[in-house]
Structure 1
Amino acid sequence: MAKTVENDLFDAALAFVEDGDDQDTVFKQVSDQLLVAGAVKPDFYEHLSEREKNYPTGIDMSVVNAEYPNVAIPHTEGEFVNVRKIVPIRLKKPIEFANMIAPDQKLKVSFLFMILNNDPEGQANVLAQIMDFLTTSSAETLAKLFGADDAATIYNVLATSFKK
């Protein structure tokens, strides 16, 4: 019998593997699913897209480990979401994001940690938790996460490894 995993920042129904050709397509696909799940408000997609254009979230992971794929941490203001969750999204093919640190630099990103946070005080805290997870997790844990082909594996890795 499988062990049930509890982690209130993750929801097994809100972990995705997406096959989009660009940021806009992936944002739309995931936003539509989040809306159906009741996790976001109808105007989430447009605000998420707009915020990403103005405040890029791509992260160059080669500074942590050259073997890791680049990630992005897209999010928008809490008024457009209904829950406090991290939505992991594995991309079947890398898509371009602007670098958070150097916005003129474009990165090929393969994994998203989308933050849904209806608590305005908690945004920086969740971002810090994600960065801590990415920089302190074992190479084995991250390889399993980044190599996962299904949402259940992604959820299980994060729910069991992510420190609250």
Structure 2
Amino acid sequence: MASKDTELFSPDLVFFDWEAQSTDEFFTKLGAELKQRGNINDGWFDGISTREKNYPTGLHTEAAAIAIPHTDPQFIEKPYIAVIKPKTPIVFQPMAGMGDEVPAELIINLGVLRDGGQVAVLQNLMNIFMDKEKTADILAQTTQEGMIDAITKYFE
């Protein structure tokens, strides 16, 4: 499983120092990048915004505040996983309505097409981010290649 999933990470889909005042502003910016690369179709913004409102993806872990937004496969043209480390945290609502708002320090957007793939990747990422040392390693990255290497080495 891991090799298939890790192939979805690409240095050109790692972004640093983004700023956004809301998840909608964030999704607009990310959508423009993904559309330009042929990863998504025109329904993606509405799809991901609606899904995020209905099923929030912010996650407080002991190590960091993260968000793992995703949408339905019909909005994906070419599978991908995008990684964004914003300049300042972007507020997401908590997953399963558990706890306070999540000022996400790291956002990983899943564009997975294969059956069950999104769930498998999501579980894998949650396991990684439950580990303080792995999370610190990932958050310390300052280059696109370094970010991809740090995340993919922890995939199981």
TM superposition score category, shorter chain reference: 0.7 to 0.9
For residue 11 of structure 1, what is the aligned residue in structure 2?
10
Distance 1:22 1:131 in 2: 23
**Counterpart residue type for residue 23 of structure 1:** T
Q: How many residues align?
A: 151
- Listed as ranges, the matches of 1:58-69 within 5 Å are 58-62=58-62, 68-69=63-64
For residue 149 of structure 2, what is the aligned residue in structure 1?
156
Structure 2 CA distance for partners of 1:95 and 1:56, relative to 1, 3 Å: same
SS of 2:119's equivalent in the other structure is helix
**Counterpart residue type for residue 32 of structure 2:** D
What is the deviation of 1:152? 3.4
What is the deviation of 1:89? 0.9
Contact kept, 8 Å, 2:128 with 2:135, in 1: the verdict is: no
Contact kept, 8 Å, 1:56 with 1:103, in 2: the verdict is: no
% identical aligned pairs: 24
Contact kept, 8 Å, 1:48 with 1:75, in 2: the verdict is: yes
- Structure 1 unmatched ranges of 5 or more: 1-6, 63-67
- Structure 2 unmatched ranges of 5 or more: 1-5
- Listed as ranges, the matches of 1:26-105 within 5 Å are 26-62=26-62, 68-102=63-97, 105=100
For residue 130 of structure 1, what is the aligned residue in structure 2?
125
SS of 1:12's equivalent in the other structure is strand
Contact kept, 8 Å, 2:76 with 2:113, in 1: the verdict is: yes
Structure 2 CA distance for partners of 1:104 and 1:129, relative to 1, 3 Å: closer
For residue 3 of structure 2, what is the aligned residue in structure 1?
none
Moved over 4 A (4+): none
Structure 1 residue 118 corresponds to structure 2 residue 110:
no
Q: What's the TM-score once normalised by structure 2's chain length?
A: 0.85
